[in-house]
Structure 1
Amino acid sequence: MSKRILVVEDTEDNRQIVRDLLTSVGYEMIEAVDGHEGVEVATRERPDLILMDIQLPVLDGYEATRRIKSNEATRHIPVIAVTSYALSGDEDKAHAAGCDGYLAKPFSPRQLLALVRARLG
């Protein structure tokens, strides 16, 4: 059974790029378009990994990650922040919210796949 990855990203073009990349190497992708939906989908679907944008409508990625990590049923799911927030301190802020990894946009496909593979084992 392939590993399932939840991608929480509000921009369709970005979801399409990640979808093409992940499915080309055999991962199954689940999608959410805002932070609130991301929390709901994570709780319902229990993916193996979450790629979380930070700048999201409804609920930002920091708060969505905090909610996922505060839920006993989902706290074990690794969350990687994938964001255009790349200023000094942003990576620390992502880790403080509960993210297990951080990747700044734009990223190379190799960078993303290496991080995903490292988290999924």
Structure 2
Amino acid sequence: MGEHMQKVLYVEDNPLNMALMHHLFKKNLPFVMLLEAETGERGLEMAERQRPDLIILDIGLPGLNGYETLACLRREENTHQIPVLAISAFAQLSDIAKARQAGFAGYITKPIRVRAFTEIVQGLLAEREGQV
């Protein structure tokens, strides 16, 4: 690992899902600081200010949905290069293909498969660390 603690921003409006993610990070990714935002708008503010190494973005957010939030992130100079992992209960192949086409770095379906999720997050963080 590098000299700084890596940061992941999780944008999720459901408090139970947020609590689950906190538990998952504490248990499986204790070397990563988890930041949280409950809306796409707040996520954009946090991403600009905190410059996380990875953003995990719920697709079904109220207000700005995940696709709209991703589009905003990609337009901003300070956030356009941050990998964004989609997370959603929508699990059809067409949903996954749409997310990939939109520019998400990956797609996680709910309920989360902990081992696969942890491996994907670790892989994206390792790639990001190599770029910084």
Under TM normalisation by the shorter chain, which class is it? Answer: over 0.9
Alignment size in residue pairs: 121
| 2:109 counterpart of 1:104 | yes
Output the CA distance in 2 between the equivalents of 1:36 and 1:30. Answer: 14
Counterparts of residues 13-52 of structure 1 (less than 5 Å)? 13-24=16-27, 25-52=30-57
Counterparts of residues 3-14 of structure 1 (less than 5 Å)? 3-14=6-17
TM-fit CA distance, 1:98:
1.9
- Runs (4+) off by over 6 Å: none
TM-fit CA distance, 1:80:
0.3
Q: Could you state the TM-score of these two structures normalised by the residue count of structure 2?
A: 0.87
* Letter in structure 2 aligned against 1:12: P
Q: Residues 79 and 99 of structure 1 are in contact (CA less than 8 Å); yes or no, is this contact kept in structure 2?
A: yes
| 2:96 counterpart of 1:91 | yes
- Per mean C-alpha deviation after superposition, the further-off stretch among 17-26 and 71-80 is 17-26
| Percentage of matched positions with identical amino acids | 37
TM-fit CA distance, 1:67:
0.8
Q: Could you state the TM-score of these two structures normalised by the residue count of structure 1?
A: 0.94
Counterparts of residues 60-71 of structure 1 (less than 5 Å)? 60-71=65-76
Q: Residues 9 and 32 of structure 1 are in contact (CA less than 8 Å); yes or no, is this contact kept in structure 2?
A: yes
